[in-house]
A and B are shown apart, each in its own frame.
Chain A
Amino acid sequence: MTERGTDIDGMWDSLDRQLEQIPLELEQERDAFYSQSEYDVYRLHYTGLDGYQLFSWLSIPLSADGPVPALLRMPDYGSVHDIVYTPLRSSAVVMNPTHRGQRHSDSQFQAEYPGLLTEGIDRLQTFVMMRVFADALRAVDVLLAQTSAQVGAVGLTGQGLGGTLSLFAAARRPRITAVAADTPLALGHPDVLDHELVYPLDELNDYLRVYPHRSEAILASTAPLNPVTAAPKVQVPVLLSLGSRDRGLCPLPIGEQLAARLPDCDVRVYDGGSEGGGHPHGVVRAAWLRERIGLV
């Protein structure tokens, strides 16, 4: 496995310094259509890396009094991120941020599916996924900058790409309380280039079929995004779900490496499809998150 600890740390530090220098320019607009009697729904617009205009859904419980637990659901690999609809929205701040290229964050760049995973992949400087990860960090910063509610414990959750974004955000942002990551996208792990895969990871093999001499470039560009490398820096409890037959997001051998390197990991392996547990795990995840972020 390629490990470039020092270089990768330096790159992430540099990225954070860049983000710090960019004003959030947060605009928060209440959405009367989707707000309900127990919570208000907001549309957030803010600025990310390269001055990119980003969007997020946010809900705030009307009963909020004092610090309120927050749940941030990182986006999956797809063009649409849901408007908030977890049952927790009545008692927790809930945020569903999009990344560049997704709907509502696509005025400057519209992602293609398949296609996003290899957009600009030849060089780290042009690799769009690097900026997608920066957008995830930015979302956490926006949540923590909230003035409409006093944000208490913060749980991160997500599936596939969202799982990996959650892990990286927890590795880079000490305010995070807990992470529930389902089948985190194993982008950056060198073994994914050697497996028979399905989408989205199979986009890498599509690319290599056309550009067979670029495998080293792909490994170099994706290495900083390898969740297995980032795992030791995640110092909060992690609930990790894996699918024994997953070939598109986090193949089981890689997931097991990830679990072993996370300092505080409760891993659940499901003998199902790639989704890492389906409904039974959804029940486990909800209870686990409630307990970790202090929701009764």
Chain B
Amino acid sequence: MGRITTNSKIAKDGGGKELADQKDLDAFVTQVTRPGDFDDFWERVLAGLVEVPLEPLVAPETMRSNANVDVSRVYYRSLDGIEISGWYCVPTQGEGPFPAVIHYPGYKGEPGMRRDWGRKEVVSLTVAVRGKLGSNDDFNPGYPGLLTHGIEGRDTYGYKGVISDCVRGIDFLLSRPEVDPQRIFACGSSQGGGLTLITAALRPEIKGGVAGYPFLCCYPESMQMLRSYPYDELTCYARANPDRVEEMLETLRYYDAVNFAPRIKCPMVVGVALEDEVCPPGTSYAAYQALTGHKELWLFPDSGHGNAHEYPAKETAWLEQQISKSQTGGSND
């Protein structure tokens, strides 16, 4: 399997079984390294996106709206001109411009609308990245399938578009008069956690974020530790294409959240479940370790992937606190 090596202490089926506490997490050292032209590559991607007209559209959804929130389906253009959709919730009470929370989706599920933020006088945008319902007319690799789509090269990899869609979500928010451009926050779990880290690294307009159980971290180790999807898609690809493992791993270096983390300047939380059987805890922790700004680590000892009972409330409370600080002119750094 090419250059893949792993820490034998955690290289057991299930990944999380051997990781009892932070001491064990500290023992995990990723083999992932940052390509020398990593920043140049992504600056080129961002520069290319600027050339794509955003063409934002807002289509009200009467059935989903209520007394507290106006819900709309929104659309905008992203990489290769692909139309991306999202759920957009605007408070009906209070005076704008409002702070905003952008939600990034998990790997296979449909992103849900977050009407609950409307009651708190916060705008929310949930992005359906390419391939998801509402954004799959021109790109639809499926689930499983997305993780290996075009993985032969960094410019053909499907996640180049997925990440671009997240970046363009920020542009959509910046195009809206009801959004305060100084108070944009981000969150997501699993793939959404990885995309939160990556987008915060690419867009300084994000003033704080919560990345739960982040996927897209430490690919080489993840595919060796686990027998569960989605990472297992990579293992299946490697088995079917042994002559392409090197180029697959090379592509993934440009898409590893661990390599994005040092670029993040805003406060960031990383949530890690110690029984996570989908995103090995050590790999999520590696992303936390790579952060250089203000950061918090939430450990959930008796929880698996995405199911820590206290996580949703903690995520909301932390974001509310950050929003409140920004309202009073406090620093989010």
Chain A interface residues (CB < 8 Å from chain B): 32-34, 36, 78-80, 82-83, 85, 87, 103-104, 110, 112-114, 199, 206-207, 209-210, 270-273, 275, 278-280, 282
Contacts and interface: CB of A to CB of B under 8 A. Distances in A.
B309 A199 contact: no
B229 interface: yes
Given A32-B240, A210-B62, A278-B303, A78 B110 contact: yes
Interface string B119-148: 000000000000011000000001110000
A280 to B, nearest CB: 6
Given A85-B227, A85-B228, A34 B236 contact: yes
Contacts of B312: 273
A79 B302 CA distance: 29
Contact of B307 (A85, A113, A114, A279): A279
A113 B133 contact: yes
B250 interface: no
Nearest to B111: A113
Interface in B223-276: 227-229, 232, 236-237, 240, 273, 275
B66 A34 contact: no
Contacts of B307: 273, 275, 278-279, 282
B308 interface: yes
Contact of A110 (B108, B133, B143): B133
Most chain A CB inside 10 Å of its own CB: which residue of B240, B302, B309: B309
Contacts of B275: 279
A82 B309 contact: no
B142 A278 contact: no
A206 B63 contact: yes
A206 B61 CA distance: 11
Contact of A278 (B66, B132, B228, B304): B304
Given A114-B64, A278-B303, A279-B302, A85 B309 contact: no
B244 to A, nearest CB: 13
B146 to A, nearest CB: 10
Nearest to A37: B239
Contacts, number: 68
- Secondary structure class of chain B's binding surface, majority of residues: loop
B109 interface: yes
Contacts of A279: 273, 275, 302-304, 307
B229 A79 contact: no
A22 B229 CA distance: 34
Nearest to B133: A79
- 6 smallest CB-CB distances across A and B, nearest first, come from A272-B309, A278-B307, A279-B304, A80-B108, A113-B110, A80-B143
A214 to B, nearest CB: 13
B312 to A, nearest CB: 6
A85 B228 CA distance: 6
Given A78-B110, A85-B228, A103 B309 contact: no
Contacts of A82: 108, 229
Given A114-B64, A206-B64, A279-B273, A273 B309 contact: yes
Contacts of B144: 34, 83
B302 to A, nearest CB: 6
Nearest to B116: A198
Contact of B304 (A199, A272, A282): A282
A83 B143 CA distance: 8
18 contacts: A32-B240, A33-B240, A78-B108, A78-B110, A79-B109, A79-B133, A80-B108, A80-B143, A82-B108, A83-B229, A85-B229, A103-B142, A103-B143, A104-B142, A113-B110, A271-B309, A279-B307, A282-B304
A114 B95 CA distance: 29
A33 B303 CA distance: 31
A87 B323 CA distance: 42
Contact of B309 (A114, A209, A278): A278
A272 to B, nearest CB: 3
